Amino acid sequence: MKYEPVIGLEVHVQLNTNTKIFCGCSTQFGSEPNAQTCPICLGMPGVLPALNREVVAKAIRTALATQCEVANVSRWARKNYFYPDLPKGYQISQFELPIAVNGKIEIIVDGRPKTIRIHRIHMEEDAGKLIHGENLGDPAHSYVDLNRTGVPLIEIVSEADMRSSEEAKAYLEKLKSILQYLGVSDCNMEEGSMRADANVSIRPVGQEKFGTRSEVKNMNSFRYLQKAVDYEIARQTEILDDGGRVVQETRLWDSTRNITLPMRSKEEAHDYRYFPEPDLPPLHVSNEWVEETAKSLPELPDAKRERFAADYGIPEYDAEVLTTDQKLAAYFEEVVKSGSDPKTASNWIMTEIMRVLKDRGVGIEQSPVTPKMLSDMLNMIKDGTISGKIAKDVFVEMETTGKGPQEVVREKGLVQITDEVAIGKQIEEIFAANPEQVAGYKAGKTKLIGFFVGEVMKATKGKANPALVNKILKEKLG
Amino acid sequence: MTDYSKETVASLARKLANGEASSVEIVKSSIERIKKVDPQVRAFLRVEENDALESAVMADKRLASGERGPLLGVPLAIKDNIVVENRITTCASRILENFKAPYSATVIKKLRAAGAVILGKTNMDEFAMGSSTENSAYGPTRNPWDTKAVPGGSSGGSAAAVAAGYCPASLGSDTGGSIRQPASLCGVVGLKPTYGRVSRFGLVAFASSLDQIGPFGRTVEDAALLMNAIGGYDPMDSTSVNMPLPDFSDSLKKDIKGLVVGLPKEYFIEGIDPEVQKVVRDAADRLAKEGARIEEISLPHTEYAISVYYVLATAEASSNLERYDGVRYGYRSKNGADLSSMYTHTRTEGFGAEVKRRIMLGTYALSSGYYDAYYLKAQKVRTLIVNDFKDAFKKCRIILTPTAPTPAFDIGEKANNPLQMYLSDIFTISTNLAGVPGISIPGGFSSGGRPIGVQMMAGHFDEDSLFAAAAAYERLRDTSIAHRSPNL
Amino acid sequence: MLTTEEVLKVAQLANLRIPDGELAAMSAGLSDILKHIGQLDKLDTSSIPPTSHVLEMGNVFREDVVTSLFGHEVTMDNAPAQMHGYFSVPRIIE
């Protein structure tokens, strides 16, 4: 039996406002627990929430960037349940009337574009952190840090439009990219500023009705998300193939064992008793506010990608890679503006620059090679000052020392040798040292030209212009 | 020691202004009287003697420097569900028995700015749930007029404090009548402002869409002076209304000629104590003689108000009280080896019976499968009640009714019948549902010597008309009323 | 009207324990009140909108500026149990 996976993602994103959603506490917290708190986010008797305008502004930006309809009137609701990290015993969220609905995100998987619809976006407050006591040597207790309570979240719920873990990953990456472009969140899965839960089910190919789904939580990286979704699909496939039924449940990804495990059933029995939040008036978002926000949006990833492909003539794939990160895209454009060929620039960025960033574990803003340094180097290749091969060494020098290409080339004497007489002399020396190979070439082993080129490059420490070396070798060898 | 127990806010302010008395003298006299009398009345949960004297000293300094103000140096009592920084606030519950509030309510900040002296915190029904102050975890308060009787609730302590002459005014809270009903039963003035008129920030929430803080006073003028001090927009309370606060004392001398006063027929039915009816009819007559026009009106959905209230208020309360879980503050049970049982034991041991009953009711009304039938339904009927008032206020400016169906009942009389207790809120509850302001003014006494109050209501933000009519009635009523005091 | 089972379910949601001896009384008491509340069914509210907020209120916003400076000590001042700067609670049984 062939099954089709059906996947939807619920993504929680922490907004990077200065203060929490309902109180004036800072969202920048340090290491001391329970220090970034106040009576309001602690849920003390008598307190009331006061809504941070900037949270709404960022939510509207997100809604517009994902082509949602922004509601002119939306409401706050209480979601009631008991947990130590939830001080009021309820979370202020949005239930019946969220701020935005009916959006979409375009993804590309294996070169094929696909639209993933967004069901809704709503705002809510984050809970605190619960640490299990055994981490602090006390297995009989759990520990609560409420610094994070009240940090603003938006929850983005997709429709169940994804059909593979690749699509899920692509959706999440595109979402992250959009949110970073908007500057509304750090979107760091490892740090928890972006969290994704996956709803996974499978159904026989051709069947319209959805199968029973499970909800998978605790995947804190793109890689784990993909693995967890694949695991779930396989697990459910096995159950159905064996004639069993999939149980609707919440499961947690275990990254040490690479499996999903069912969450304790007590967590399941939640009746949230949603009702309209009496302490907050309905939220009115005027059409003017929406229009103003729309005007202020930056060029978004898809638009930038299309522009890069069209204006710079680089392949779609390159454009996609370069525009995933807004700062990387900006880096690329700066390099090109200084006169570099876009495709060349793109190659160098996607290979060498990305490698450096990965090795150092930093973002493009911390790249040791600045756009100017790179573009100067590319110019030096273009005008023949250095060869492409030497450039790789120059790059490494720039990266490690922070010196500009001109300085590196000068200091290390890496200027390309283009003097034909000098090259010719060098070639004569190689011939003299390798008479057998000369004879062999003249006898017909033309492949030996590679050997000679190699020897010349070795002797000139790579500085000889390869094209000239080839030309002169052929002239001399006949 | 001079006896200030019959002074009003206004008269004390005058004495303080012209140097006849100092705040320290007045406050000492209050504390003296509390020590002497309160063992019988039990209005106070905590008297903060040192705080009070310190504040009095500061008030005297301000007075000496030439500053004047209607509350400067005047002692007040505060219901124990309004937080005062660094002081215990219990809401008359075990679950907050040791809770030291880390901040002050907005109304407290305003009172302090005005130089008022806070004597301490008064007894109440636990979490404001009750109509008799018998639901306090710390024992009931007694009616100063007859210590066998209840003072009313839930702000029984604050009403009794004024009636017993400890201070000329106090603050209470009103969710379904919790200021007006005890005011009626204790023979003092009690006002519930328009919803949104006074900040709720720092009022421990019972039912968020119904709660309001309001003043008790010996006179209508006292209530107006207090409203001037505590009312107004508060950005910390998103349900407080951004409207300018008038000087309510301007309304007190207004002429009521031509004022249309509505008597809702649904409030004058069988089962109301005849002595109560008589007082209210007499009030109507006196107002009419002064030029007001009395009209019969209808508030057709009155009979449903209690049901609506006991769904909506308990639902909101069940949510508002979820924070009492023993994790961050308050009582935590020693029983309960795991989290879930700690929660259950803490809340079961910490909450009293009435609170638990209402939490159960509210939780049920919100629960899956019942939300539409109860909560949503009640919200819709609330709309009908709101519309009743909107329609009524097209025909009249003031609505006149009894405050409570009977004078004060005996302690223990209704305690075992929750439904009976709930039904005694019949005349006050609609006011909260509609969000309109209401005031209770002493109107007479029962043959047993227990006070009977008269209630007036006005449209949203029309406290002006309310004060005008109430002050007029106060002038027009039987003059003996103002001169009677409890025998304490 | 309300069975003991329903009472227990509601109690669990509310984290309250109704001792066995009190279950019947609680059930009866709540049923009494619910019966009275049942009178609301007499009213046709099919075209009536619900009231969540009794007053028309516009947006109320707070600016995104840090104002709270509460700090750790005041936060922990009322804590029934704490350890290493955290609120400590009995272990959650999983």
The predicted model gives A63-68 an average pLDDT of 98
Query: How far apart are the C-alpha atoms of B234 and B239, rounded to whole Å?
Result: 9
A37:C70 CB<8 A: yes
Q: What's the pTM? A: 0.93
User: Taken in order C30, C33, C37, C38, is the CA torsion positive or negative?
Assistant: positive
Stretch(es) of chain A classified as CATH 1.10.10.410: 420-477
Collect all residues of chain C within an 8 Å Cβ-Cβ radius of residue A55: 64
How many CB atoms lie under 10 A from the CB of residue A342? 19
Residue B15 annotated as catalytic: no
**Nearest-CA distance C63 → chain B (Å):** 11
Query: How far apart are the C-alpha atoms of A266 and A83, rounded to whole Å?
Result: 12
**Nearest-CA distance B308 → chain A (Å):** 16
B322:A44 CB<8 A: no
Collect all residues of chain A within an 8 Å Cβ-Cβ radius of residue B370: none
C37:B374 CB<8 A: yes
The residues in A 42-61 lying below 8 A from B, measured between CB atoms, are: 42-51
Least confidently predicted of A9-23, A78-92, A429-443 = A429-443
Quickly state the pLDDT bin for B142 (edges 50, 70, 90): very high
Collect all residues of chain A within an 8 Å Cβ-Cβ radius of residue C71: 35
Residue B208 annotated as catalytic: no
Marked catalytic residue, from B29, B158, B178, B446 = B178
Least confidently predicted of A156-170, A400-414, B386-400 = A400-414
Quickly state the pLDDT bin for A448 (edges 50, 70, 90): confident
The answer to whether B339 contacts chain A (CB < 8 Å) is yes
Instruction: State the pLDDT at residue A268.
Output: 52
The predicted model gives B448-458 an average pLDDT of 97
Question: Is it the case that residue A165 has pLDDT exceeding 70?
Answer: yes
A89:B367 CB<8 A: no
Q: What percent of chain B has pLDDT over 90?
A: 95
Quickly state the pLDDT bin for A30 (edges 50, 70, 90): confident
Query: How far apart are the C-alpha atoms of B389 and A199, rounded to whole Å?
Result: 49
Quickly state the pLDDT bin for B85 (edges 50, 70, 90): very high
Gyration radius of chain A over CA positions? 30
- pLDDT tens-digit series, residues B10-36: 999 999 999 999 999 999 999 999 999
The predicted model gives C12-18 an average pLDDT of 96
A45:B316 CB<8 A: no
Instruction: State the pLDDT at residue B225.
Output: 98
User: Chains that contact C by 3+ CB pairs under 8 Å?
Assistant: A, B
Burial class (CB in 10 A: 0-12, 13-18, 19+), A174: buried
Of B301, B342, B347, the CB nearest to C89: B342
Instruction: State the pLDDT at residue A415.
Output: 82
Query: How far apart are the C-alpha atoms of C82 and A33, rounded to whole Å?
Result: 11
Q: Least CA distance to C81: which residue of chain A?
A: A143
Marked catalytic residue, from B22, B104, B154, B199 = B154
Quickly state the pLDDT bin for A70 (edges 50, 70, 90): very high
Can you say whether residue A433 is alpha, beta or left, with left for phi > 0 and alpha for psi between -120 and 50 degrees? alpha
A33:C94 CB<8 A: no
Q: What is the ipTM of this complex?
A: 0.96
Identify which of B264, B269, B187, B172 has the alpha carbon closest to the alpha carbon of residue B227: B172
Residue B277: which residues within 8 A CB-CB, separation 6 or more? B268, B402
A and C: number of Cβ contacts within 8 A: 123
Of A25, A53, A82, the CB nearest to C63: A53
The residues in B 75-114 lying below 8 A from C, measured between CB atoms, are: 98-100, 102
Amino acid in position B449: G
The answer to whether A141 contacts chain C (CB < 8 Å) is yes
Instruction: Identify the residue whose tokens are 């009521």.
Output: B256
Quickly state the pLDDT bin for A265 (edges 50, 70, 90): low
**Nearest-CA distance B16 → chain C (Å):** 37
Identify which of A456, A453, A461 has the alpha carbon closest to the alpha carbon of residue A415: A461
The residues in A 136-175 lying below 8 A from B, measured between CB atoms, are: 142, 144, 146
Instruction: State the pLDDT at residue B377.
Output: 98
Of B195, B239, B376, the CB nearest to C50: B376
Quickly state the pLDDT bin for B230 (edges 50, 70, 90): very high
Collect all residues of chain B within an 8 Å Cβ-Cβ radius of residue C6: 364
Facing residues of B215 across strands? Answer: B171
Instruction: State the pLDDT at residue B427.
Output: 95
The answer to whether A363 contacts chain C (CB < 8 Å) is no
**Nearest-CA distance C28 → chain A (Å):** 23
Residue B240 annotated as catalytic: no
The answer to whether B298 contacts chain A (CB < 8 Å) is no
The residues in B 225-254 lying below 8 A from C, measured between CB atoms, are: 235, 238-239, 241
The architecture CATH gives domain A420-477: Orthogonal Bundle (1.10)
A271:C84 CB<8 A: no
**Nearest-CA distance A140 → chain C (Å):** 5
Collect all residues of chain C within an 8 Å Cβ-Cβ radius of residue B380: 45, 48-51
The residues in B 448-477 lying below 8 A from A, measured between CB atoms, are: none
Question: Is it the case that residue C94 has pLDDT exceeding 70?
Answer: no
How many CB atoms lie under 10 A from the CB of residue B209? 25
- pLDDT tens-digit series, residues A354-407: 999 999 999 899 999 999 999 999 999 888 888 888 888 899 999 999 999 999
Quickly state the pLDDT bin for A466 (edges 50, 70, 90): confident
Q: Least CA distance to A24: which residue of chain B?
A: B236
Query: How far apart are the C-alpha atoms of A384 and A371, rounded to whole Å?
Result: 20
Helix B23-41 vs helix B9-17: angle between axes, to the nearest 10 degrees? 150
The residues in B 311-340 lying below 8 A from C, measured between CB atoms, are: 311, 318, 325-332, 336-340
Instruction: Identify the residue whose tokens are 């928890």.
Output: A192
Collect all residues of chain A within an 8 Å Cβ-Cβ radius of residue B103: 39, 44
Can you say whether residue A78 is alpha, beta or left, with left for phi > 0 and alpha for psi between -120 and 50 degrees? beta
Collect all residues of chain A within an 8 Å Cβ-Cβ radius of residue B204: 45-46
Give the best residue of A22, A41, A42, A48 to mutate against chain B (max B CB count within 10 A): A48
Question: Is it the case that residue B475 has pLDDT exceeding 90?
Answer: yes
Task: At B45, list the tokens.
Answer: 């949960």
